[in-house]
Amino acid sequence: MTDHLLGEEARVLRPDGWWRSAVVYQIYPRSFQDSDGDGIGDIPGITSRLDYLAELGVDVIWLSPVYRSPQCDNGYDISDYRDVDPLFGTLADLETLIAAAHERGIRLVMDLVVNHTSDEHPWFIESRDPASPKRDWYFWRPARPGAEPGAAGSEPNDRPAAFAPSAWTYDPVSGEYYLGIFSPGQPDLNWENPEVRQAVYAMMRWWVDRGVDGFRMDVINLISKPIGFTTDALDPSGVEPTYEGGSGPRLDEFLAEMNREVRLDDLNLLTVGEMPGSTVETAIRATDPGRHELNMVFTFEHVMLDRVPGGQRWDLVDLPLPVLKNNLAHWQLGLADVGWNSLYFDNHDQARAVSRFGDDSPEHRVASAKTLATVLHLHKGTPYVYQGEELGMTNAPFTTIEQYRDISALNVYAAATAGGVPTERVMHFLETRSRDHARTPMQWDATDAAGFTTATPWIEVNPNYPTINAAAASEDADSVFAHFQKLIALRHDNAVVREGRFELLLPEHDRLWAFTRTLDDERLLVLANCSSRPADLPLEDLPDHVDAELLLGTHLNGRPDSLAPWESRILRLDQS
Ligand code: NOJ
């Protein structure tokens, strides 16, 4: 137990608003480092790699779920919130990790998955009995009127689940259906019931007492159910609710109550709410410090821009640069005065940024990974680095469905092929967007299985590990890793990077991403060529930067009027 981190001392470690200058590193434990030779990453493996994170310079670890879980969605289905799954180690291992991270000045944020539990959680098992006091802790509904319970098409309504054809699963024990917006293994908790909320808050306090520094809150917008999920009625707009959008009417109330009851703000804990469907307006409400809800949210707008609105998941469209950069700029302006942004391209649910937004060919991979990082880290907000992003790790070259592991990939494949969608089309979707691209093992070195495990890994290692790995990066002063180190240091050392006002330049330019950051009399100019061809700089439309100091650049080009493919520069403008 990390006694020295409890109570007052823990608070000293967490000064007010510390998360505004922090860079967070996300660890997906299953794929980070295996220590016991079972092919699955674990907590002692993470502890053994802390010096790597300290060298990178990050301030916080966000640990994806390590709780006890049947693992139907790799831990986002929790059966015991107060224990560690034996796959990952023990509670004592986690306490050791927290203490070892703190010794290095790195804080640790837990993933909080409380929109739903596992169907093996004791709360859910108890609630299957219609007479149980926990019946109302979940959403139980009879078959639709006149329909035969359990028969095909008898579900209470037609809402699909994220990873299954229906959001409703029939339970023969109680003769009713329960709601699982994600999958049958992930029944939704009923937050309308105050006992549920108090049980969650008590669990959160228990983790705070164990020294954790905050929570990343999984699909927290869904704790207040969008109208139409639990009933047949739709909201007046007639729009069907989906797991990707919106929230119900009590979200802000629940978040404020949680903040109060767990003393999230009093204790200066980091809180980031994952909120698919959030808009600038909902984010302002949730992150306005005066309302004491959350520090920041993860929006999904910029990672959904290549989807056909209202289309199937496999319907993708090209994403022109102006659409992407204007979206980020919209959030920068929207949250300029109230609230706070989180900044991410990569996480465990997204394809690799360098393959998606950059150019992962051998010629341009390094430069495009660096330039995407430059652009993201120079926005205002808290940047999130997902494991391997700092190495420029790429999508996996999987060609058959057997290589995929993710419940989502397997469900998309099954649904598409059952619906007659050509296999090539759905495979193309998986090859470019599957969540499994982010989940291939961390590439540590050029030895077998990339140094991740001595066994067969649970998912194939990307075959490019002999060249793309942490050991090679540490010997190369120009590596993507070295560039991330510099970006993180730049943020730590410069108030203008943390707090400067953002202004987008050249909003319609289809290859250049350019903006300024201004704080008092300091001004930075960021210029990035987001294409694999050289780009002329329209000097007449940019602030004069011919004599500006180069704070960080990706190339030795030095030409004031053009950028090489995927070149970026961070310049300090002379304000005298
Ligand atoms: C969002 C998580 O990031 C994702 O991995 C998970 O599948 C769903 N929420 C359900 O918990």
| Residue pLDDT, tens place only, 146-157 | 999 999 999 999
CA dist list (Å): 144 to 1, 180, 535: 51, 17, 60
476 is catalytic: no
What is the Å distance from ligand 1's center to 530 Cα? 30
Predicted pLDDT at 1: 37
User: Which among 561, 566, 569 is positioned nearest to 532, based on CA atoms?
Assistant: 566
Question: Ligand 1, atom 5: nearest CA belongs to which residue?
Answer: 349
What CATH number belongs to 116-188? 3.90.400.10
Predicted pLDDT at 533: 98
Structure confidence by residue, pLDDT tens digits, 411-470:
999 999 999 999 999 999 999 999 999 999 999 999 999 999 999 999 999 999 999 999
When comparing pLDDT for 519 and 241, which is higher?
A: 519
Q: Residue 349 CA: which ligand 1 atom is closest?
A: 5
Q: Residue 76 CA: which ligand 1 atom is closest?
A: 11
- Tell whether the model's pLDDT for residue 560 goes beyond 80: yes
Question: Which member of 93, 119, 155, 218 is catalytic?
Answer: 218
Q: Chain-wide mean pLDDT for the chain?
A: 94
When comparing pLDDT for 131 and 315, which is higher?
A: 131
Confidence of residue 5 (pLDDT cuts 50, 70, 90): very low
Predicted pLDDT at 501: 98
pTM: 0.97
**CB-defined site of ligand 1, < 6 Å:** 73, 76, 113, 182, 218-219, 274, 348-349
User: Which among 175, 166, 169 is positioned nearest to 142, based on CA atoms?
Assistant: 175
Question: Ligand 1, atom 8: nearest CA belongs to which residue?
Answer: 76
Predicted pLDDT at 233: 64
274 is catalytic: yes
What is the Å distance from ligand 1's center to 476 Cα? 35
Return the DSSP state at 138.
B
The pairing of strands 24-27 and 60-63 is: parallel
Return the DSSP state at 308.
P
Contact 121, 137 (CB under 8 A): no
Contact 379, 343 (CB under 8 A): yes
Domain range summary for the chain, segments of one domain joined by +: 116-188, 219-340, 405-433, 498-572
What is the Å distance from ligand 1's center to 182 Cα? 8
- Average of pLDDT values for 6-29? 78
Predicted pLDDT at 392: 98
- Average of pLDDT values for 163-187? 96
- Average of pLDDT values for 258-274? 97
- Average of pLDDT values for 156-163? 92
Residues 564 and 111: their CA atoms lie apart, in Å, by 40
Question: Ligand 1, atom 4: nearest CA belongs to which residue?
Answer: 349
What are the structure tokens assigned to 543, written together?
């602030």
User: Which among 206, 220, 211 is positioned nearest to 261, based on CA atoms?
Assistant: 206
Confidence of residue 4 (pLDDT cuts 50, 70, 90): very low
Residue to mutate, 76, 299, 411, 435, ligand 1, most ligand atoms under 8 Å from C-beta: 76
Structure confidence by residue, pLDDT tens digits, 72-107:
999 999 999 999 999 999 999 999 999 999 999 999
Matching residue, tokens 């995929």: 404
Confidence of residue 235 (pLDDT cuts 50, 70, 90): low
Residue to mutate, 121, 344, 349, ligand 1, most ligand atoms under 8 Å from C-beta: 349
Confidence of residue 3 (pLDDT cuts 50, 70, 90): very low
Topology of the domain covering 498-572: Immunoglobulin-like (2.60.40)
User: How many of the other CB atoms lie within 10 Å of CB of 309?
Assistant: 8
What is the Å distance from ligand 1's center to 218 Cα? 6
Predicted pLDDT at 415: 92
Question: Which member of 85, 274, 390, 567 is catalytic?
Answer: 274
Residue count (the chain): 576
What is the Å distance from ligand 1's center to 14 Cα? 28
What is the Å distance from ligand 1's center to 3 Cα? 32
CA dihedral 26, 29, 32, 36 (to 10 degrees): 160
Residue to mutate, 81, 218, 298, ligand 1, most ligand atoms under 8 Å from C-beta: 218
